[in-house]
Structure 1
Amino acid sequence: MEDKPFESMNMIPFIDIMLVLLTIVLTTSTFIASGRIPVHLPQASGSALDKDSNRIIEIDAQGRVFLDGKAIAPEALPVATASFPKSTPFLLRADKTVQLQRFIDVADALKQSGFSRVAVQTQQSGRP
């Protein structure tokens, strides 16, 4: 018996494998690029996240303030939150290198606007 040389190669299995690999890459890339503002949170011994927080205020390392991902001037925060009900919970995320005064300005603006449900997000420290 003599073997015949390959005249052509069947590319369909190769294409199927490439499509599966492409699907895996595209699926995992959506988890990597979350689109969040980079904030290095300070550490605390206990860190519990309030799951019903529906408004997020973030302060990045440069001191810029973001309300639900949109940049806002700290002075405009009371005007931007005026339409929210006073029972609206806020989650305050501030970079650990931000000046304390910027953090206090944002927290004070929320307090002056009558919001009492304000939580501060931290990272749990590695200490026991």
Structure 2
Amino acid sequence: MKRFDSINVIPLIDVMLVLLAIVLTTASFIVKDSLNIELPETQSTQAYKPPQEQKPFKLHIDHSNQLFVNETPRNLLELDGIFSQLDSQQAITLEVDKHANFGTFVELVDTLKRHKLHNLTILTQAKAS
């Protein structure tokens, strides 16, 4: 009987790399769809490139007019306190569901302006041709 002095781990590494690739590709879709925000379509939209030097502060308004900060539900009073702690040059991205009330959007933008947070990017979806 042949004795094993070592185990060949190369096939194991190959399998683990394939599993890692599958997890990484599906994880980005899971995060994006967790709030189910349906962005409005525009014809003259540009690709968004986040600033290199800082991570953007993410705001969301879903179809039921619920406000989210990084996917955590918040109300305007809580956001008022959070915004007072942000730097005026902080990059902010805003995703608003196309079925959300315009009034909720206006209240949020007004709160941002009150705190002099003008570095705002409103994300949309390119219209399919």
TM-score band w.r.t. shorter chain: 0.7 to 0.9
Q: How does 1:103-118 map to 2 (within 5 A)?
A: 103-118=105-120
What percentage of residue pairs aligned between the two structures are identical? Answer: 16
Does 1:30 find its partner at 2:16?
no
CA positional deviation for 1:114: 1.0
**Mind listing any 5+ residue stretches in structure 1 that lack a counterpart?**
1-15
* Counterpart for residue 65 of structure 1: 67
* Counterpart for residue 51 of structure 1: 50
Structure whose alpha-carbon radius of gyration is higher: 1
For these two proteins, the number of residue pairs brought into alignment is 114
TM-score by length of 2: 0.73
Superposed CA deviations along residues 69-94 of structure 1, whole A, max 9, x for unmatched, are 32211232121111111111211101
Greater shift, 43-52 or 114-123, is seen at 43-52
- Counterpart of 1:115, as a letter, is L
CA positional deviation for 1:54: 1.1
Greater shift, 49-58 or 89-98, is seen at 49-58
**Mind listing any 5+ residue stretches in structure 2 that lack a counterpart?**
1-10
* Counterpart for residue 87 of structure 1: 89
CA positional deviation for 1:29: 2.9
- Give the secondary-structure state (helix, strand or coil) at the position aligned to 2:84: coil
TM-score by length of 1: 0.74
CA distance in 2, matches of 1:93, 1:79: 20
CA distance in 1, matches of 2:76, 2:50: 25
* Counterpart for residue 39 of structure 1: 37
- Give the secondary-structure state (helix, strand or coil) at the position aligned to 2:22: helix
CA positional deviation for 1:101: 1.0
* Counterpart for residue 119 of structure 1: 121
Superposed CA deviations along residues 47-100 of structure 1, whole A, max 9, x for unmatched, are 221421611101112221111232211232121111111111211101111111
Q: CA RMSD in A?
A: 2.4
